[in-house]
Amino acid sequence: MANERILIVEDDSQIAEVLAAYLQRDGYLTSICRDGGEAMQMFRQWQPDLVLLDYMLPQVSGNEILAAIRRAGDVPVIMGRPSMEKWRSWVRFATVRTTMS
Return the closest-CA partner of residue 39 out of 74, 18, 19, 67. Answer: 67
In 3D space, the residue among 49, 22, 24, 20 whose CA is nearest the CA of residue 34 turns out to be 20
- The helix or strand, by DSSP H or E, that contains position 23, with its residue range, turns out to be helix 13-25
Give mean pLDDT, residues 17-40.
Answer: 93
State the pLDDT at residue 95. Answer: 56
Question: 47-81: per-residue pLDDT in tens?
Answer: 999 999 998 888 888 999 999 999 998 999 999 86
Strand ranges for the chain from DSSP E: 5-9, 29-33, 50-54, 77-80
Residue-level pLDDT at 60: 87
pLDDT band at 43 (very low <50, low <70, confident <90, very high): very high
Query: pTM value?
Result: 0.79
